[in-house]
Amino acid sequence: MENEKKNEIVSLGNEGVFDGKIEWPEDEEIIRRVELERSNAIDYRAPFVNDWHENENLLYCRKRKTLSKRSNVMLPLAAGYEDVLLSRLRTPITVIFEGVESGDTRKAQKVTSLFEFETAVTREDWEFKDVMTKKLAIVSGRGINKIYAEYPYRHRLDPVDHYDFWIDPLVNGMNLESARYLGQDNIIISKPQLEKNKSYDQEKVKELLGLFPDNNAPAPDDENSDKGNRLFAQGATLQNFTQSGEASYVFTEAYTQINGIRAYVLYNRDKKVIIKKTELENITGFLKDEKQAFYPYESWAYYPDLFNFWSIAPLTRVREMFYLRNVSLNQVFDAGESKTRPMRAFDPKTFPDASKLIYNPDALIATAGGRDPSKGIYTFEGTSINAPASIDWILESLTNKITGLNTGATANEIPTQKVGIYYGNMQELEKRMTLFELSYNRFHLRLAQKYLSFAKDRLDKVEAIKILGTNGVEYEDITQEDLVDFDINITGGVSKASEDTLSKKAKADALAQLAMSQIVNQKVRVELALGIVGFNKDEIKRLLDSSIVDQNQLTRADEDIQKILLKKKFRKYLKADIQYMKRIFDYVYDHDLSKEDEDKLLKYIEEIQPVVVRNVYLRAKQELLQKQIEMSMSGKPGPAPDSPAATGAKNAMPVDQNDVESAGAQTMQRAETVPSLIQEEY
């Protein structure tokens, strides 16, 4: 049975369909209870859905109805606000696991490396999913993620649509673990997935499939067209796309309590068929010191409210401002229209055919004989208005005060701000987003706790955490022994970005003032200044190294370091010089390696040493030969007649391999001096 579990891959694990802790009621009773809970949650959410629709209409420029022949231009002000807010909140959160016991430091580093590997762009891409969640939450006020793990072990994180999520109205706004029940609609599962997944009750699966003739699965649940408004606002319609390709079926995941124990139920609402029910602990497990199995969801809010989970959204706060600005703008257009296309009155006795009065180039208009055309028509002059422009400026200013964002600034305008104003704006934004940061940081803390819990429960072994490079991350396995209790440190976000920026500015100013100081180490000052503007340690070393750097030597050394530590076979680099060998020695010196890895690298340095010495000697000999040739051509005296360069010039022949080997043999006695030369600076 254990092997079967590990070989299956499903959305929330591969637990048995039934277990012995819960005395399950009849399926009809379970569905009745869950449907009542869902109905209460949907009713609680309904007023906020109307608000979300208004925000979407504004965001996607869905125009409101207006009076006939009035201007109805709608500028994408909300879209610009969204861009600005997302750009200011993009600073990622960094999660670091720290050992509780002194002996757990190495384990914490390994688990942190595993976390970074699994959340990177090539795996679950937490950064991009985080931005997409923030984008959804600008409309709803709530960011919701689902975290789980698959068999064989793989971490998963999914953004959740607020239209699909429902939750207990009595939940507090701080932590959704306080909810008595919650759930997610529109879980789409194909027919092959239903039939192959052994965690589903196959008798119930057959029953369900039989209730849909000709594989006519239903469309996603869309009560009151709530979810469809997002597409409708963009001019599209929500159609039944589930039947493209294999037949698919729509389910609801419900998390409820039965006899005081949290339970998981997966069922089809249309046919009232449960295909899976189990205790929640079989899917998620328990967090430390918690008595209830945790939900596989986490959430944060822009403006968290203790007694209201569905709190206000950012767009809701500024929505009316944007509508009013569009109204003011259209009033300006209407006023301009009244000037360029004014109303006119005419005397039908003077102009018998009124249609001729419509503007037409080179037109001839007939008038009644003996009547003055200038007296037969009157133009009602339009009036220019400046008030809407002033109102627009006032509304822009108010919007910036409400949000703390300069929503009118473009990407090109921001860097040109005066330094004091720029840092002041960052501090103002930080103050405005205090509630968001508190909610957001705790969201990441709980996600990290749940991530670790899933890893402890389902991870057997991970062969590759991260490819080793010059950053010092080691390539090694993680086992269950490494997954102990850890403290979790959360850094980053708006406050951290503001703090770092102000700190960098203060340091940069201080270093600039010390530029002419006689008591300051100027090389260190330059190193610090380069570090502040973003140069890494390796780049700084190369910038301050007066010797000519051969990047090919450094790159090949990095590659060979990796191969040595990974125990891969490779050919010795026959063009290696002192830079190559020094690079490897620096790696040993700068990194806290295991005794085994350190010995392997030092042994390789000894092996490559004769090659390096031979190449150094050959290069010196070739340089002397070239110098002798240049001196001979210029008529200047060269080196001593018996010197290698003079001999080479006399024979006018290139150095052959035998000569190189002979010269190498004579200089092998100097090989021991190369490591000492490398170590001098240390």
Phi, psi of 381 (to 5 degrees): -70, 130
Task: Say if residue 526's pLDDT is above 70.
Answer: yes
pLDDT of res. 113: 84
d(CA 280, CA 179): 14
308, burial (CB in 10 Å: exposed 0-12, middle 13-18, buried 19+): middle
**Tell me: the pLDDT tens digits for 241-258?**
555 667 889 999 999 999
**Tell me: the pLDDT tens digits for 121-134?**
989 999 999 999 99
Asked if 113 and 434 count as a contact pair (C-beta separation under 8 A), the reply is no
Average pLDDT of the chain to the nearest whole number: 77
pLDDT of res. 264: 97
Question: For residue 409, which of 44, 60, 81 has the smallest C-alpha distance?
Answer: 81
Of 1-5, 197-201, 211-215, 436-440, where does mean pLDDT reach its minimum? 1-5
User: Cα angle at 54 between 49 and 55, to 5 degrees?
Assistant: 95
- Confidence category of residue 523, pLDDT binned at 50, 70, 90: confident
Tell me the Cα Rg of the chain. 37
Percent of the chain at pLDDT exceeding 90:
28
596: left (phi over 0), alpha (psi -120 to 50) or beta: alpha
The single residue listed with the structure tokens 């005066």 is 418
pLDDT of res. 660: 40
CB atoms under 10 Å from CB of 682, counted, come to 7
Task: Say if residue 648's pLDDT is above 50.
Answer: no
468, burial (CB in 10 Å: exposed 0-12, middle 13-18, buried 19+): buried
Question: For residue 582, which of 536, 541, 640 has the smallest C-alpha distance?
Answer: 541
Residue bearing the bigger pLDDT, 362 or 673: 362
Task: Say if residue 659's pLDDT is above 50.
Answer: no
Asked if 266 and 276 count as a contact pair (C-beta separation under 8 A), the reply is yes
Asked if 266 and 275 count as a contact pair (C-beta separation under 8 A), the reply is yes
User: Which tokens hold the place of 210?
Assistant: 């039989």
Task: Say if residue 484's pLDDT is above 60.
Answer: yes
Asked if 200 and 281 count as a contact pair (C-beta separation under 8 A), the reply is no
Of 3-7, 266-270, 335-339, 470-474, where does mean pLDDT reach its minimum? 3-7
d(CA 180, CA 41): 11
Of 138-142, 390-394, 598-602, 664-668, where does mean pLDDT reach its minimum? 664-668
Residue bearing the bigger pLDDT, 659 or 193: 193
Please name the residue ranges forming H helices in 418-458: 419-432, 434-458
Spell out the residues 6+ positions from residue 532 whose beta carbon is closer than 8 angstroms to its own.
504, 507, 508, 511
pLDDT of res. 169: 96
Handedness of CA 631, 636, 638, 641 (dihedral sign): positive
pLDDT of res. 549: 67
Residue 681 to residues 525, 530, 582, 676, 677, Cα–Cα distance (Å): 19, 21, 11, 10, 8
What letters, b where the CB count within 10 A reaches 16 and e where it falls short, cover 609-632? bebbbbbbbbeebbebbeebeebe
- Confidence category of residue 37, pLDDT binned at 50, 70, 90: very high
**Tell me: the pLDDT tens digits for 267-313?**
999 999 999 999 999 999 999 888 899 999 999 999 999 999 999 99
pLDDT of res. 108: 87
DSSP one-letter string for 514-572: TTT-SSS-HHHHHHHHHHHTT--HHHHHHHH--SPP-HHHHHHHHHHHHHHHTT-----
Spell out the residues 6+ positions from residue 479 whose beta carbon is closer than 8 angstroms to its own.
460, 461
Spell out the residues 6+ positions from residue 516 whose beta carbon is closer than 8 angstroms to its own.
none
Handedness of CA 427, 433, 438, 440 (dihedral sign): negative
Question: For residue 174, which of 84, 40, 308 has the smallest C-alpha distance?
Answer: 308
User: Which tokens hold the place of 355?
Assistant: 């249609």
Asked if 399 and 74 count as a contact pair (C-beta separation under 8 A), the reply is no
pTM above 0.85, yes or no: no
Phi, psi of 262 (to 5 degrees): -70, 135
d(CA 315, CA 303): 12
CA 136 and chain centroid, separation:
14
